[in-house]
Chains A and B, each alone.
Chain A
């Protein structure tokens, strides 16, 4: 049934003047090879399926031999470092216009609306730099350990890469992800609302092993300071408990290759579950100390303003959160009928245990399928079936983690934290679907 012209669905009117008289004549004569291009130019929207079924003899994509079936393809290593298809060029990192004035202290967001599974392609990993990014000569890079240790020490990259390594999949989310949306809807798509998150397989050495070598004083030294080698030499305080658990890594690998320079080549800290600013890039130094440092990014920025005028300092954990990535804001559903609603869930406290999805703005919920692997402090992909009846709908997802924490609504979150916090907005995201199939960003209390 669904494969015939009598399929469920509505025909969207073509954009005005979409076809010229001449082109209409061509269609009548059975020529339609230009159609695909014309559609993209006139409107990237939804009419394509209707056209594909307009001719009763069958689909020209089948009936007519396509160029790629009748030509010699390109040789091996034509792209020594492979690139995505030219048809995928829309899915790139993007800045949010007006968010910042200087590219060196800005954000480029990951295009979550087009990604699958849980691993972010390295070239699409979000970027957040405080004073521009640098490409460091790995043979001149050093890691220094000092402070409350028996021996202040220096390690080369050669040293670090000789040590026993581990590889672990974790998400990294900027503390300010969804920060533009605290007070009201501000951005159109999930790329800008949630795109300061990525998830990769990181390879490196547990920091604990290196601190052990230096004879760290674990009794007095309950905090570490991590410092970058770039111009900003960014610093953050991290609890020694996390180092002792073995989960904090000194990482050089990301998704099977070395870190990209934008992500800290050749060495960065991995602090699972904690906001991205603590994953210090271009890591040059770890100091062991007996008190927190109140660095710029823990005394001026990355502090959460509460309604009583106090700022929460050293707020670090990224609490349980989720978002539907398809369909999402700025997209149009092609037609009525079946959809695989797909999204991402994560928690800085552990594993995702359940994700529920609502299509009526949170009145009723159904439990989604969690796709494997489901890992601690990693993105988890969820999917759920949905048949869109062409009526208005509001899509939401709500995640739970293995501490029992349930992702809150905007109403619940604002009741405690107000709207001026900037950081750590983990409220339930709502996408409104209207009759035309257009999806937009809304907030439901």
Chain B
């Protein structure tokens, strides 16, 4: 019944508001005009021409504080970490800022492809941080905080000085210094709309590779370019247990069968499901300390259970290094309690 009443209210709104009516000659009673507040709430995108960019300002110095509290745990202090995600900063040079082309993409002089090496448009950074970051609490940053974080990243990449005030106007100058701003091409056949010559993108769908369908004696010899390396043979578990046990084929045995393995630890499964294992190993440090290291330090300490429950809940910093652990608000109290007990009792890897 309650759902029905809501529908009635929605209909009443649609009829009652003064907004223009939809052109629904055919589909009467379907849909309604959006209110200005509704559009403002959801229309958050920022385009390369900065349409949609809210007013505000920030700088790298303010950005650093926000970064260390909310971003460094995944991305590292200098946005260089390759632990959880690919690095954000690195591989760009002052020469790239001048040319707008990142040389490391041509000469492979940097081991990774960082975000700053690739991204051509500063609007992309603003838009994405604003809509999706931080990872566990998206859309919680204010416009000024987003400006500060963008400024922090740009400063790390030496695009702007640390006292540069980034705002809705100065961001346009910054665009002219983006290291890979000239690094994109749309001259390809993989855009499914109109070509560039008709106001769209690309060459109108013309493929870049032209193969032929030869049927007989198509080549003299078969050149094997690559085969599965020895070390990768069993990296995907036991393939016998990834294939059907009936039919014309069976999976190749590439490891022990699960029947012979120890039963799965439900708490390890919980820690995995809740994302804890992204930062903690069982035996060793990933970003935060390994569970066995935590147990070794706290096992004999009175009140360790309550202390660690508090750290998981509220976050912590300084005990194991400078990278903070953010508060884990997505875990229920009961789950935190169980996980801490499991850690202190000597959690085992499978």
Q: Which A residues lie at the B interface, using CB under 8 A?
A: 40-41, 43-46, 87-88, 90-91, 94, 96-98, 101-105, 111, 113-114, 130-131, 139, 144-146, 150-156, 158-159, 162-163, 184-189, 191-192, 209-210, 212-215, 222-223, 225, 227, 231-235, 238-242, 273-274, 284-285, 287, 289, 291-296, 299-300, 303-306, 308-317, 319, 326-327, 329-334, 339-340, 348-349, 354, 356, 360-366, 394, 398, 400, 405-413, 415-417, 424, 432, 438-445
Q: Please tell me if B264 contacts chain A, counting CB pairs below 8 Å.
A: no
Most buried by B among A158, A215, A295, A416: A295
Can you name 28 A-B pairs with beta carbons within 8 Å? A44-B243, A45-B240, A102-B275, A114-B244, A131-B138, A153-B33, A154-B33, A154-B38, A188-B233, A233-B44, A284-B42, A291-B49, A293-B127, A296-B132, A299-B124, A305-B113, A313-B120, A313-B186, A330-B252, A330-B254, A332-B250, A349-B205, A409-B211, A412-B209, A416-B209, A424-B190, A432-B224, A439-B249
Q: Determine whether the beta carbon of B191 is less than 8 Å from that of A317.
A: yes
Q: Please tell me if B118 contacts chain A, counting CB pairs below 8 Å.
A: yes
Assembly CA distance A105 to B127 (angstroms): 19
Closest chain B residue to A417 by CB distance? B208
The 5 A-B residue pairs with the shortest CB-CB distance, nearest first, are: A239-B193, A361-B222, A309-B106, A44-B240, A330-B239
Which residues on the B side are within 8 Å of A241 (C-beta)? 192-194, 200
Q: Determine whether the beta carbon of B245 is less than 8 Å from that of A406.
A: no
With contact pairs A90-B243, A113-B243, A131-B132 given, residues A285 and B43 touching in the complex (Cβ less than 8 Å): yes
Q: Determine whether the beta carbon of B249 is less than 8 Å from that of A331.
A: yes
Assembly CA distance A139 to B9 (angstroms): 13
Q: Determine whether the beta carbon of A294 is less than 8 Å from that of B47.
A: yes
Closest chain B residue to A152 by CB distance? B34
Surface stretch bound by A, among B19-27, B294-302, B320-328: B19-27
Q: Determine whether the beta carbon of B105 is less than 8 Å from that of A299.
A: no
Most buried by A among B19, B45, B118: B45
Apart from the given pairs A154-B33, A231-B139, A406-B212, 17 other A-B contacts in the complex at a CB distance below 8 Å: A130-B132, A145-B34, A154-B32, A154-B34, A159-B30, A185-B226, A186-B232, A233-B131, A235-B127, A285-B43, A309-B101, A331-B250, A362-B218, A364-B215, A364-B216, A413-B209, A443-B225
Contact pick for B184, options A295, A310, A362, CB 8 Å? A310
Q: Determine whether the beta carbon of A363 is less than 8 Å from that of B215.
A: no
Q: Please tell me if B293 contacts chain A, counting CB pairs below 8 Å.
A: no
A-B contact count (CB 8 A): 376
With contact pairs A41-B257, A445-B223 given, residues A139 and B27 touching in the complex (Cβ less than 8 Å): no
Q: Determine whether the beta carbon of B190 is less than 8 Å from that of A152.
A: no
Task: Quote the shortest CB–CB distance from B227 to chain A (angstroms).
Answer: 5
Q: Which positions 217-275 of chain B face chain A at CB distance < 8 Å?
A: 217-219, 222-229, 232-233, 235-237, 239-254, 257, 259, 272-273, 275
Q: Determine whether the beta carbon of A294 is less than 8 Å from that of B48.
A: yes
Assembly CA distance A130 to B29 (angstroms): 36
Closest chain B residue to A327 by CB distance? B249
Q: Determine whether the beta carbon of A213 is less than 8 Å from that of B23.
A: yes
Q: Please tell me if B83 contacts chain A, counting CB pairs below 8 Å.
A: yes
Assembly CA distance A390 to B308 (angstroms): 62
Assembly CA distance A58 to B89 (angstroms): 70
Q: Which B residues lie at the A interface, using CB under 8 A?
A: 3, 6-7, 10, 19-24, 27, 29-34, 38-39, 42-45, 47-49, 83-85, 101-103, 105-106, 113, 115, 118-121, 123-124, 127-128, 131-132, 135, 138-139, 183-186, 188-194, 199-202, 205, 207-219, 222-229, 232-233, 235-237, 239-254, 257, 259, 272-273, 275, 278
Closest chain A residue to B199 by CB distance? A222
Q: Determine whether the beta carbon of B32 is less than 8 Å from that of A432.
A: no
Contact pick for B128, options A225, A296, A306, A406, CB 8 Å? A296
Which residues on the A side are within 8 Å of B83 (C-beta)? 101
Assembly CA distance A332 to B209 (angstroms): 34
Assembly CA distance A394 to B222 (angstroms): 9
Q: Determine whether the beta carbon of B33 is less than 8 Å from that of A317.
A: no
Q: Determine whether the beta carbon of B42 is less than 8 Å from that of A444.
A: no
Which residues on the B side are within 8 Å of A443 (C-beta)? 224-227
Q: Determine whether the beta carbon of A317 is less than 8 Å from that of B192.
A: yes
With contact pairs A153-B32, A155-B31 given, residues A333 and B120 touching in the complex (Cβ less than 8 Å): no
Task: Quote the shortest CB–CB distance from A334 to chain B (angstroms).
Answer: 6
Tell me whether chain B's interface is mostly helix, strand or loop, or mixed: loop
Q: Determine whether the beta carbon of A212 is less than 8 Å from that of B23.
A: yes
Assembly CA distance A287 to B47 (angstroms): 12
Contact pick for B7, options A158, A186, A409, CB 8 Å? A158
Q: Determine whether the beta carbon of A339 is less than 8 Å from that of B248.
A: yes
Assembly CA distance A106 to B223 (angstroms): 34
Contact pick for B23, options A146, A215, A310, A417, CB 8 Å? A215
Assembly CA distance A96 to B22 (angstroms): 48
With contact pairs A144-B42, A287-B45, A432-B227 given, residues A315 and B34 touching in the complex (Cβ less than 8 Å): no
Which residues on the B side are within 8 Å of A232 (C-beta)? 131-132, 138
Which residues on the B side are within 8 Å of A360 (C-beta)? 222
Which residues on the A side are within 8 Å of B250 (C-beta)? 44-46, 331-332, 334
Which residues on the A side are within 8 Å of B225 (C-beta)? 184, 410-411, 443-445
Assembly CA distance A155 to B32 (angstroms): 7
Contact pick for B185, options A155, A185, A313, A332, CB 8 Å? A313
Q: Determine whether the beta carbon of B30 is less than 8 Å from that of A213.
A: yes
Task: Quote the shortest CB–CB distance from B328 to chain A (angstroms).
Answer: 14
Assembly CA distance A252 to B221 (angstroms): 51
Contact pick for B186, options A312, A329, A362, A444, CB 8 Å? A312
Most buried by A among B202, B213, B252, B259: B252
Closest chain A residue to B14 by CB distance? A154
Q: Determine whether the beta carbon of A45 is less than 8 Å from that of B184.
A: no
Assembly CA distance A314 to B228 (angstroms): 32
Assembly CA distance A192 to B236 (angstroms): 9
Which residues on the B side are within 8 Å of A41 (C-beta)? 257, 259
Closest chain A residue to B189 by CB distance? A317
Which residues on the B side are within 8 Å of A158 (C-beta)? 7
Closest chain A residue to B6 by CB distance? A139
Q: Determine whether the beta carbon of B202 is less than 8 Å from that of A314.
A: yes
Q: Determine whether the beta carbon of B120 is less than 8 Å from that of A111.
A: no
Assembly CA distance A310 to B138 (angstroms): 31
Closest chain B residue to A428 by CB distance? B211
Assembly CA distance A3 to B30 (angstroms): 64
Q: Determine whether the beta carbon of A309 is less than 8 Å from that of B252.
A: no
Assembly CA distance A439 to B34 (angstroms): 58
Q: Determine whether the beta carbon of B253 is less than 8 Å from that of A44.
A: yes
Which residues on the B side are within 8 Å of A410 (C-beta)? 225
Which residues on the A side are within 8 Å of B185 (C-beta)? 306, 310-313
